[in-house]
A = this chain, B = another copy of it.
Amino acid sequence: MDCGMATESADSPARSDELDARAVERLVFFSDAVIAIIITLMVLEVRLPQLPEHAGDAALRSALAALGPKYHAVLLSFCVIGLFWMVHHRRFNCVLRVDVGVVCLNLMFLLTIACVPFATAVMAEHGGLTSVLLYAGVLTAASLTSALLWWSVGRESIVGPNPEALQEMRIATLMSLTSAAFFIASMGIAFLSTSVAQWSWFLVFGTNWIARELYTRYRPQ
């Protein structure tokens, strides 16, 4: 027996639909809570180092200025995680029920997102080649698990007989793979210049937008 995970149920269809909706809601809720914790704690982690007892205002100002690279890294990661959340938010709105595969892939996706603050902290504090590769590697992993997740969501048993939703999930899979390719390319760039690689990440927003336009225009319909 299985209450509300995608399955043939002996209950009346209405009751079954309600249980399905409840299971989806709980999964969405759990994901939101995890992402909210990750994104908030990453910002709260920006702390002033301990200054000497009676440090003057000038010392405080220079300590604040020294946090510069941290601000930059946290802001970038805030945007990246915020973008991942926004697409998760929009796409799970199409989901009518979930099965074990979707739940597991969603957990894996959350795990990769949970690694972003670690990579952010390492990059903010060191900033050499290794830390840039680490950051791009974590985002590659997040993009790949995203691709797997949307590919798995794009089934009739998940979104129902809804051609638009199925199409959307196919586009989502392709866009996630594009992002992954993008981050892998930035790892190559990092060997030439770490700054160029870091700045290139801001392009992922634009790339995503262009990719969506292209896929939407030339979709095989």
Residues of A within 8 A of B (CB): 1-5, 10, 19, 22-23, 26-30, 32-41, 43-44, 46-48, 51, 55-57, 60-61, 64, 78, 82, 85-86, 89-91, 93-94, 100, 103-104, 107, 110-111, 114-115, 117-118, 121-122, 125-126, 128-131, 134, 164-165, 167-168
A10 proximity list for chain B (CB < 8 A): 164
State how many angstroms separate the Cβ of A175 from the closest Cβ of chain B.
Answer: 14
Inter-chain CA distance A117–B46, complex, in Å, is: 10
Interface of A is mostly: helix
Q: Are A130 and B61 in contact (CB under 8 A)?
A: yes
Which residues of the other chain, B, contact A34 by a CB distance below 8 angstroms? 36, 39-40
Q: Are B93 and A22 in contact (CB under 8 A)?
A: yes
A74 → B minimal CB distance (Å): 9
Chain B residue nearest to A168 in the complex (CB): B1
- Point out the residues of chain B lying under 8 angstroms from A122, CB to CB: 48, 60, 64
| Copies of this chain assembled into the complex | 4
Seed contacts A38-B40, A51-B126, A78-B111; 5 additional CB < 8 Å A-B pairs: A3-B91, A4-B90, A30-B89, A34-B40, A36-B37
Could you say which of B64, B93, B111 contacts A4, with CB atoms under 8 Å apart? B93
> Shortest distance in angstroms between A197's beta carbon and chain B's nearest beta carbon?
14
User: Which B residues touch A29, using CB under 8 A?
Assistant: 29, 32
Contact A117 B44 (CB under 8 A): yes
Contacts of A23 in B (CB 8 A): 89-90, 93
